[in-house]
């Protein structure tokens, strides 16, 4: 059991943030409140402004030069408005801080702080999410360490934001967990000068959970800075991230009858017997990131020229070390009967260093064109070489990847084009990556988008090499496995009248997956299926189609938000299992009350997905694996919520999975892992502007 007093650190951090904010407060001006969702400012290569709260390509309007975003008050000299508080992403997209209360905020008020429509969470907070939808057109260029099921809440370098604020700003998010714990996400960002901004953030939680041996806790710290010289010739930004994610692993139900028969003795879920009581997993990550750019040429016609011709050079650097641990104090038959040693102490390590140099040319007519060369060093390793009677398994995969690439973007009238290409010159992990996106605005209310994706790369490192104290979990496939080949095309229509529609069609060769080779039904019935999980590569081609539609209907103070997703998979062997239909419908009421001192939204959300062969979970690997013996799903998830906004504070109250109080206990997040029962959770998001 983890140290229960470690959660006290969460109480110290808010006090520190308030103290620092008071010291660093530079102005007393409080930004004017914004009436609509924040808008993404249009850059030279951007056609569409997107709300920070909406899904990709949400209904928005193009912001022409000289126009002011609706809901952002015009500024007089020396005044400060909400438009001055900006968030800059890794891709350098800029959004505004948003203190509004919308239905999309409700969808994102969770552990991941993003819409989890295509995910199915486990019973406790911080546990894995099973996938209800897949997208093959958004993949990282380099393989990851693995344990993908445990990385949902991990902050990659693309997930870290940077800030530009005139005065210190604090955001605190609090939410109750399932049992004996709280969740806190705290951010403080401030400006040391007009051109130098910094931030510190901490994301952490502890939750005991309703079932035994499922305690989880996180601690994720980030610190960022960004600086630009007065003439705008040189800019630099960077961050430091330190993350630790720990959880107990129960293995799921030992006897399903205790859960499914709904016996009075087991209404208290802590009394249900679980597969094992002595297993723990941990992810530990540390990263240093630096990105800088220098303009060699900056030809401005005059001081008011906002689109000068520029030629710049840049450099991006990152160094990261990551560890995945699985520990068990004694052997368990669920992973094999004859381990090499006990206690079990499996540890996979990955150290990477990335350097990219680039040259970029920007012209108002020709657009933005850049070329780059990258060097990626990796070292994935275990403690020692494994030698058995039948094979020898190395303890290390080490090497470097050299790649060249380029990007292009340009907007001509209502047409916008952007593209990215990467090609590996030297190395064994990667091959190529090509993305192209075209957008055309038919009119102010309708936007059409088309995209093409082609990529080639090896699967994650744990598919290629793995070592464990359990005999069954040792393999080396770096010479046997081939690169995963992906080709995809997508189409999108974003219309104020018809809603948002996107369709994606992907062709995947050499698809890689985990599956169990359990030889007989007896091994499966005795919960030993997880002991025979191994990586495989599909020889046939997989065709995946996904169509997603979203539309909101409004009548006076009532709204109905609908999201529907349809998927179809064509494959020679059943290695990719997904539900055919996923739907989420939210009926809610919005109104100002108490003489407009408070704004409320209250309603009910109905989510449903068709039954399918839901992937099973292996805690030792931290991965899901396919199973084709049991169909799960086909049950509704009903949530009732009451949310309110007072000034810059948003208050959330939700009764989750209300229908579990009167429905059959047949709801699972994965085979052997029940979904959560009815629970009431409370929380808030609070912004302070100094």
For Cα atoms 640, 645, 647, give the angle at the middle one, nearest 5 degrees: 170
Q: In this predicted structure, which of 24-38, 282-296, 630-644 has the lowest mean pLDDT?
A: 24-38
Torsion of CA 29, 35, 41, 42, to 10 degrees: -150
Q: What is the pLDDT at residue 68?
A: 44
Q: 417-449: string of b/e by CB count within 10 Å (b at 16+)?
A: bbbbbbebeebebbbbbbbbbebebeeeeebeb
Quote the pLDDT of residue 78.
54
pLDDT at 316 > cutoff 70 = yes
Distance from C-alpha of 446 to C-alpha of 439, rounded to nearest angstrom: 11
The more confidently predicted of residues 457 and 59 is: 457
pLDDT, tens digit, 9 for 90 and up, residues 63-78: 333 444 444 444 444 5
Kindly state the percentage of the chain with pLDDT values over 90.
78
Alpha-carbon distance of 296 to 272, in angstroms, equals: 67
Residue closest to 453 by CA, chosen among 428, 425, 481, 422: 422
- Average pLDDT on 95-116 reads 94
Lowest mean pLDDT among 36-45, 67-76, 374-383, 625-634: 36-45
Question: What is the four-CA torsion angle of 61, 65, 69, 75, rounded to 10 degrees?
Answer: 180
pTM above 0.75, yes or no: yes
Specify the pLDDT at position 82: 81
Q: Is the pLDDT of residue 50 over 60?
A: no
Maximum C-alpha span of the chain: 80
Q: What pLDDT is stored for residue 56 in this prediction?
A: 35
Picking from 134-148, 438-452, 525-539, which range would have the lowest pLDDT averaged per residue?
525-539
**In the structure, what pLDDT confidence band is assigned to residue 520 with cuts at 50, 70 and 90?**
low
pLDDT, greater one: 525 or 346: 346
- Indicate the average pLDDT of the chain: 88
Percent of the chain having pLDDT more than 70? 87
Task: Give the single-character DSSP code of 299.
Answer: E
Structure tokens at 522: 């007896």
Q: What is the pLDDT of residues 370-424, one digit of tens each?
A: 999 999 999 999 999 999 888 899 999 999 999 999 999 999 999 999 999 999 9
Contact 169, 687 (CB under 8 A): yes
Tally the C-alpha atoms within 13 A of residue 291's C-alpha that lie toward its C-beta.
18
Residue 608 exposed, middle or buried by CB count within 10 Å (0-12, 13-18, 19+): middle
Distance CA 302, CA 131 (A): 53
283: DSSP letter: E
- 606 — pLDDT class (breaks 50, 70, 90): very high
Grade residue 302 by pLDDT with cuts at 50, 70 and 90.
low
**Is the pLDDT reported for residue 338 higher than 70?**
yes
Average of pLDDT values for 293-318? Answer: 85
| 521 phi and psi angles, rounded to 5 deg | -65, -30
Domains, the chain, ranges and CATH? 4-305+314-689 (2.40.170.20)
Q: Around Cβ 30, how many Cβ atoms within 10 Å?
A: 15
Return the pLDDT at 389. 83
In 481-594 the beta strands, taken as DSSP E runs, fall at 484-495, 499-509, 512-516, 533-537, 542-555, 558-570, 581-593
How would residue 301 be classed by pLDDT, with cut points 50, 70 and 90?
low
Give the span between the Cα atoms of 246 and 218, in whole angstroms. Answer: 6
Of residues 518 and 649, more confidence is placed in 649
- CB 170 within 8 Å of CB 687: yes
- Tokens linked to 2: 């983890």
Residue listed under structure tokens 């100002």: 592
| Structure confidence at residue 60 (pLDDT) | 32
Q: Please give the Cα distance from 98 to 100 (Å, whole number).
A: 6
d(CA 540, CA 254): 36
Question: Cβ(654)–Cβ(233) under 8 Å?
Answer: no
Angle at 475 between CA 472 and CA 477, to 5 degrees: 150
Token pair listed for 499:
């809603």
- Residues paired with residue 361 on neighbouring β-strands, in sequence order: 311, 369
Helix (H, G, I), strand (E, B) or coil at 265: helix
Contacts of 509 (CB under 8 A, 6+ apart): 484, 485, 486, 541, 542
CB distance 677 to 660 below 8 Å: yes
Question: Is the CB of residue 308 less than 8 Å from the CB of residue 298?
Answer: yes
Least confident of 161-165, 285-289, 298-302: 298-302
Contact criterion met (CB below 8 Å) for 359 and 483:
no
Q: What pLDDT score was predicted for residue 570?
A: 97
As given in the structure block, the two tokens for residue 635 are 């049950």
Tokens read off for 155: 């902050």
Q: What is the pLDDT of residue 305?
A: 64
pLDDT digits (tens, 9 = 90+) for 224-271: 999 999 988 999 999 999 999 999 999 999 999 999 998 888 989 999
State both tokens at 594.
């108490």
Closest CA to 467 of 350, 535, 381, 529: 381
Per DSSP, the chain holds a count of helices (H) and strands (E) of 5, 37
Q: Which of 456, 441, 440 is nearest to 142 (CA)?
A: 456
Q: Minimal CA–CA distance to 272: which of 119, 120, 123? A: 123
Closest by CA position to 477, among listed 407, 397, 542, 587:
397
């Amino acid at each position: 059991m983890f140290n229960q007093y470690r959660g006290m650190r969460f109480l110290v951090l808010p006090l520190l943030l308030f103290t620092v904010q008071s010291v660093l407060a530079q102005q007393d001006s409080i930004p004017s409140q914004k009436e609509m969702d924040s808008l993404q400012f249009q850059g030279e290569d951007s056609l569409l402004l997107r709300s920070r709260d909406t899904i990709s390509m949400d209904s928005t309007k193009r912001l022409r030069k000289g126009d002011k975003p609706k809901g952002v008050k015009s500024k007089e000299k020396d005044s400060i408005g909400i438009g001055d508080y900006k968030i800059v992403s890794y891709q350098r997209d800029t959004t505004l801080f948003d203190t509004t209360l919308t239905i999309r905020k409700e969808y994102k008020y969770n552990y991941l702080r993003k819409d989890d429509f295509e995910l199915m969470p486990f019973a406790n907070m911080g546990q894995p999410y099973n996938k209800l939808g897949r997208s093959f057109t958004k993949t990282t260029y380099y393989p990851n360490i693995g344990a993908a099921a445990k990385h949902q809440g991990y902050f990659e370098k693309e997930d870290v934001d940077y800030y530009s604020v005139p005065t210190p700003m604090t955001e605190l998010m609090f939410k109750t967990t399932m049992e004996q714990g709280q969740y806190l996400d705290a951010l403080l960002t401030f400006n040391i000068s007009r051109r130098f901004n910094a931030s510190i953030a901490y994301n952490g939680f502890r939750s005991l959970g309703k079932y035994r041996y499922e305690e989880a806790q996180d601690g994720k710290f980030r610190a960022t800075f960004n600086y630009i010289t007065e003439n705008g010739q040189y800019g630099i930004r960077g961050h430091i991230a330190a993350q630790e994610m720990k959880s107990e692993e129960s293995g799921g139900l030992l006897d399903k009858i205790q859960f499914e028969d709904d016996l009075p003795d087991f209404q208290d879920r802590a009394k249900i017997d679980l597969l094992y009581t002595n297993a723990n997993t941990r992810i530990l990550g540390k990263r240093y990131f630096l990105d800088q750019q220098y303009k060699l040429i900056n030809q401005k016609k005059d001081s008011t020229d906002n689109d000068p011709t520029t030629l710049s050079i840049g450099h991006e650097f990152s160094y990261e070390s990551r560890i995945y641990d699985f520990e068990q104090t004694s052997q368990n038959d669920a992973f094999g009967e004859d381990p090499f040693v006990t206690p079990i102490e499996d540890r996979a390590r990955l150290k990477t260093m990335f350097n990219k140099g680039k040259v970029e040319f920007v012209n108002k007519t020709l657009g933005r064109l850049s070329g780059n060369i990258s060097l990626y060093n990796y070292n994935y390793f275990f403690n020692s070489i494994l030698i058995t009677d039948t094979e020898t398994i190395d303890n290390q995969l080490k090497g470097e990847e050299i790649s060249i690439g380029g990007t292009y973007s340009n907007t001509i009238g209502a047409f916008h084009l952007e593209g990215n290409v990467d090609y590996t010159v030297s190395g064994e992990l990667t091959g190529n990556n090509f993305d192209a996106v075209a957008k055309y605005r038919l009119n102010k209310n309708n936007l059409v988008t088309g995209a093409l994706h082609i990529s080639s790369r090896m699967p994650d490192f744990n598919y290629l090499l793995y070592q464990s104290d359990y005999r069954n979990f040792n393999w080396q496939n770096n010479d046997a496995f081939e690169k995963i080949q992906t080709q995809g095309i997508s189409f999108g229509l974003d219309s104020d009248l018809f809603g948002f529609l996107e369709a994606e069609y992907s062709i995947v060769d050499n698809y890689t997956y985990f599956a169990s080779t359990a030889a007989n039904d007896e091994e499966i019935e005795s919960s030993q299926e997880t002991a025979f999980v191994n990586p495989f590569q599909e020889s046939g081609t997989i065709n995946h189609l996904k169509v997603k539609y979203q539309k909101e209907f409004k009548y006076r103070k009532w709204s109905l938000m609908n999201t529907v997703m349809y998927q179809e998979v064509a494959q020679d062997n059943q290695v990719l299992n997904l539900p055919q239909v996923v739907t989420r419908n939210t009926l809610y009421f919005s109104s100002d009350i108490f003489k407009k001192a408070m704004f409320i939204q209250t309603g009910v959300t109905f989510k449903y997905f068709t039954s399918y062969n839901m992937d099973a979970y292996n805690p030792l690997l931290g991965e899901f694996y396919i199973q084709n013996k049991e169909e799960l799903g086909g049950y509704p998830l009903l949530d009732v919520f009451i949310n309110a906004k007072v000034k810059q504070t948003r208050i959330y109250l939700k009764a989750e999975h209300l229908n579990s109080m009167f429905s059959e206990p047949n709801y699972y997040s994965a085979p052997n892992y029940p979904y959560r029962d009815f629970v009431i959770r409370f929380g808030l998001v609070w912004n302070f502007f100094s």
